Amino acid sequence: MRLEIGNILIKDIQFADKTKVENSVLFINKDEMIKEIHTDDKIASVDLDIAKPGESVRITPVKDVIEPRVKVAGNGGIFPGFLSKVDQVGEGRTHVLKGAAVVTTGKIVGFQEGIIDMAGIGAEYTPFSKTLNLVVIGEPVEGLLQHEHEEAVRLLGYRAAQYLAEAGREVEPDEIETFETKPILEQAAQYPELPKVAYVYMLQTQGLLHDTYVYGVDAKKIIPTFIYPTEVMDGAIVSGNCVSACDKNPTYVHMNNPVIHDLYARHGKDINFMGAIITNENVYLADKERSSNMVAKLVEWLGVEAVIISEEGFGNPDADLIMNCKKIEQKGIKTVLLTDEYAGQDGASQSLADADPIANACVTGGNANQPIILPKLDKIIGHIDVVNTIAGGHNESLKEDGTIEGEIQFITGATSEVGFNKLTARTK
């Protein structure tokens, strides 16, 4: 499966009379956009704002971040199963408004939502302080249940990204990247001298408000399966969860998964990238055993020498991570684990809820309990009062002078477990 990604570099966002991309500027007709995307009666009101890198702006509570993409050639459309039919995606050409992002906010759904600071020390911990953010503020109608609230705002964000991306449909990209994964036998024969490597992609699926979707299906209902990495770039996997902001994979991160991009960059040079296996993170032991058994079987079936395994979330999913690792290693296949840590504010506590001596190659995205003090910023988009209740905060996080005391756990993307961040740690 071969996909061309046409990156249209966006260097500024402005409200204007017409929505278009011109000279690397994304112009947005605010009234028209609100009318186009506000189609759900579960949302009482929609407003739009802009947050740019370096501005004294704080966005909270952050629900999702989405990159505007549009398919211009090939099957299906972006966000299959939601905004498009369930045709298989991942081939043809997709245009991307690179540098722009949709950020959704509004009244809090669940306590595990996040903060994006566009300036100050907090901006150093989130990758989304570097994107030009169109913030969609969606406020729910009274009495809406939590899962309905999450779904309504999630779809609102997809519609916003779709609306913006259409402005790039006829624009000539500034650069075109090509990604290709062949059927298994062809792929194995392409570089027979190189070690074959696969990616085991663990998705957060631990129940209500802890969901990830694949082609519109709640991934806790799937069994592990193979997926072409290019399908992920077309929005086949989207976020629907409210896990801790620091290690949640927003939809933007799924579409730009750095593990996939890095493996493609090395493909044909020092590895043969065979593709990805997606699996869920389960609550009950029997489900964990079933999924990890199937993951190990699929990895063996691919005939690879090594895999990278990433998780999403912490605590209970650590058991899924270690199960996947052990069963794959027991088949003689090397593993590298990607995770983060909840090691206490002093870093002295046990980092993971589960461990095994066989898991001897591990990369960490940082310690989510690391304390931080965020300075007062001039502008708030969203609801600042929630910082006392979101994960990583406490009853007195928000100070009278506007500063916020807590842990980097509440910063969106701070300890990304796929490496979409700046933090790591090294064993001395």
Closest CA to 259 of 218, 199, 196: 199
Q: What is the pLDDT of residue 225?
A: 97
How large a percentage of the chain has pLDDT more than 90? 93
Average pLDDT over residues 372-400: 95
pLDDT value, residue 427: 67
Query: Please, what is the angle between helix 30-37 and helix 146-165, to 10°?
Result: 130
Over residues 73-81, the mean pLDDT reads 95
Strand locations in 63-99 (E): 64-66, 69-73, 92-98
Q: What are phi and psi of 113, to 5 degrees?
A: -120, 175
Quickly state the pLDDT bin for 329 (edges 50, 70, 90): very high
Cα angle 370, 67, 247 (rounded to 5 degrees) comes to: 20
Q: Which residues are catalytic?
A: 242
> Could you read off the pLDDT of 355-372 as tens digits, one per residue?
999 999 999 999 999 999
Structure tokens at 415: 């300890």
Between the alpha carbon of residue 382 and those of residues 15, 46, 126, 150, the distances in Å are 19, 12, 17, 15
pLDDT surpasses 70 at 428: no
Q: Which has the closest alpha carbon to 252: 264, 239, 263?
A: 239
pLDDT of amino acid 292: 98
267-291 mean pLDDT: 96
- Mean pLDDT in residue range 5-24: 98
Confidence of residue 425 (pLDDT cuts 50, 70, 90): low
Query: For the chain, which residues make up each domain, given as ranges?
Result: 2-410
- Three-state secondary structure call for residue 428: coil
Neighbouring CB atoms inside 10 A of 17's CB total 11
Contacts of 127 (CB under 8 A, 6+ apart): 413, 416, 420, 421, 422
Burial class (CB in 10 A: 0-12, 13-18, 19+), 163: buried
How much is the pLDDT for 112?
83
- Identify which of 369, 358, 366, 368 has the alpha carbon closest to the alpha carbon of residue 336: 358
Measure the CA–CA gap between 252 and 241, rounded to whole angstroms.
Answer: 13
d(CA 138, CA 390): 18
Q: What is the mean pLDDT of the chain?
A: 95
pLDDT digits (tens, 9 = 90+) for 189-240: 999 999 999 999 999 998 878 899 999 999 999 999 999 999 999 999 999 9
Whole-number pLDDT of residue 111: 80
pLDDT at residue 195 in the model: 98
Tokens representing 394 are 């406490």
β-pairing, 2-9 vs 92-98, is parallel
Average pLDDT over residues 406-425: 92
Query: Over the stretch 78-123, which tens digit does the pLDDT of each residue have?
Result: 999 999 999 999 999 999 999 999 999 999 888 889 999 999 999 9
Cβ neighbours of residue 32 under 8 Å, at least 6 residues apart? 19
Strand order in the sheet with 57-62: 114-117, 57-62, 379-382
